Amino acid sequence: MFDSTAFPITTRWPAQHPDRLQLYSLPTPNGVKVSIMLEEIGLPYEAHLIDIGKNETWTPEFLALNPNGKIPAILDPNGPGGKPLALFESGAILLYLAEKSGRFLPTDPVERIETLQWLFFQMAAVGPMFGQLGFFHKFAGREIEDKRPLERYRKESIRLLNVLESRLAGRQWIMGDEYTIADISLLGWVRNMIGFYEARELVDYDKLIQVPLWLERGLAREAVQRGLNIPAR
């Protein structure tokens, strides 16, 4: 039987159901990728709210699971070979859950690598750029008199949105008719850009056609609606 006490994080955030996958997260654009995925695949799990406002990701218990000190992270008591698996980095977690469940990642070799290509596009470009724009537009970065950083991230965010716009032309989802982890990785970030970051006008969002339609389709999914609010604040 899985011994959750072997993992320090479970001493601070005890598992009520240690036989289930444990999610340590917060409903941020990166966090909701995993909660949405878990809701989509229907895998039993237990969610633990990690309060980044209280620096809980920098506690020894959390750092024992993720030395990078970021959410989300998971602990799967039934990992490969039946052994427990601790995993961080949202993109890696999406890939792991897709392979574990056999869902939302094409089996065709070409389509599979193309899906991962768009997942990495989100991880390497969309997340960092949108996040920096949010910082300089809404948070402490607003106090910086030099507006060149904000303009840099604004222009790059517009460019990335137009990359998505072009990709979605004639497609319902990033990979065509099939909803995949590429879509799951991007939905929260685009939603945050026009919502929480209050940057809709800043990035010319209303000039786009395909991206808003894609976002509307994604947000209409019941699993997405649930995942956007897990863990409950």
Phi, psi at residue 75, to the nearest 5°? -130, 110
**From first to last of its 233 residues, what are the pLDDT tens digits of the chain?**
667 778 999 999 999 999 999 999 999 999 999 999 999 999 999 999 999 999 999 999 999 999 999 999 999 999 999 999 999 999 999 999 999 999 999 999 999 999 999 999 999 999 999 999 999 999 988 889 899 999 999 999 999 999 999 999 999 999 999 999 999 999 999 999 999 999 999 999 999 999 999 999 999 999 999 999 999 98
Q: Establish if 232 belongs to a structural domain.
A: no
Tell whether 164 and 113 lie within a shared domain. yes
Q: What is the pTM of this model?
A: 0.96
User: Which structural domain range is residue 59 located in?
Assistant: 4-103
Q: What is the 3-state secondary structure (H, E, C) of 101-113?
A: HCCCCCCCHHHHH
Domain count of the fold of the chain:
2
With a CB cutoff of 8 Å and minimum separation 6, the contacts of 170 are: none
Would you say 38 and 21 are in contact if contact means Cβ atoms under 8 Å apart?
Answer: yes
Would you say 126 and 160 are in contact if contact means Cβ atoms under 8 Å apart?
Answer: yes
DSSP H stretches of helix in the chain: 9-12, 31-41, 60-65, 90-101, 109-121, 127-138, 148-168, 181-194, 210-219, 222-227
Tokens representing 144 are 């910086």
Tell whether 128 and 220 lie within a shared domain. yes
> How many Å apart are CA 174 and CA 162, to the nearest integer?
13
Residue 89's pLDDT is what? Answer: 98
> How many Å apart are CA 157 and CA 213, to the nearest integer?
18
Give me the CATH number covering residue 10: 3.40.30.10
Final residue belonging to a domain, choices 49, 83, 103: 103
Three-class SS of residue 2?
Answer: coil
Tell whether 83 and 116 lie within a shared domain. no
Residue-level length of the chain: 233
Q: Establish if 39 belongs to a structural domain.
A: yes
With a CB cutoff of 8 Å and minimum separation 6, the contacts of 200 are: 193, 194, 206
Residue 71: CB atoms within 10 Å: 25
Tell whether 61 and 151 lie within a shared domain. no
Residue 39: CB atoms within 10 Å: 20
Would you say 184 and 37 are in contact if contact means Cβ atoms under 8 Å apart?
Answer: yes
Give me the CATH number covering residue 131: 1.20.1050.10
Would you say 193 and 133 are in contact if contact means Cβ atoms under 8 Å apart?
Answer: yes
